[in-house]
Amino acid sequence: MDDPTTPSPYDLLFEGLWLIPIRHYLYALILIWTVFFYNFVEFHFLGDAVLQYFRGRVNLIYHPDSPIYHGVVSRCRSLHGRYVATPWLASPHLQTCFLNFHGLPPVFTYTRKLFRASDGGTIALDWLTNSHVPVADGDPHNQNEISKEDTTPIAVVIPGLTSDSSSAYLKHLAYNTAKSGWNVVISNHRGLGGISVTSDCFYNAGWTEDVRVVLDHLQHEFPMAPLFAIGTSIGANILVKYLGEEGEKTPLRGAVAICSPWDLLIGDRFISRKFKQRLYDRALTIGLQGYAQLHEPQYTRLANWEGIKKSRSIRDFDNHATCHVGKFETVDTFYRKSSSTQYVGNVAVPLLCISALDDPLCTKEAIPWEECRANKNIVLVTTNHGGHLAFFEGLTASSLWWVRATNEFLGALSCSRYMHIQKIQESGSSGSRKQEEPSINQGPYLNIGEDGLVAAVNLEENTTRSKDATQVLKQRGPKVKDKRSFNVLCRQTKRSIWLLGYIGMVTGFPLVGMLMNYLFRKKQRPITASKS
Query: Phi first, then psi: what are they for 40, rounded to 5°?
Result: -65, -45
In angstroms, the CA 118 to CA 459 distance is 11
Whether 166 is a known active-site residue: answer no
Catalytic site includes residue 102: no
Q: What is the DSSP letter of 437?
A: S
Q: What phi and psi, each to the nearest 5 degrees, are found at residue 71?
A: -100, -20
Query: Residue 376: which residues within 8 A CB-CB, separation 6 or more?
Result: 63, 65, 66, 67, 68
Catalytic entry in 44, 132, 388, 420: 388
CB atoms closer than 10 angstroms to residue 148: 11
Asked if residues 382 and 355 have their Cβ atoms less than 8 Å apart, the reply is yes
- Nearest CA among 280, 284, 257 for reference residue 366: 257
Pairing outcome for strands 183-187 and 154-158: parallel
User: Which among 91, 233, 355, 496 is annotated as catalytic?
Assistant: 233
DSSP structural state of residue 300? H
**183-187 and 122-128 beta bridge pairing:** antiparallel
State the Cα–Cα distance between residues 43 and 93, nearest whole angstrom. Answer: 9
Q: Which helix (H) or strand (E) holds 383?
A: strand 378-383
The yes-or-no answer on residue 233 being catalytic is: yes
State the catalytic residue, choosing from 359, 414, 451, 496.
359
CB 154 within 8 A of CB 227: yes
The C-alpha angle 366, 346, 190, rounded to 5 degrees, equals 70
Length of the chain in residues, anyone?
532
Looking at the annotation, which residues are catalytic?
A: 233, 359, 388
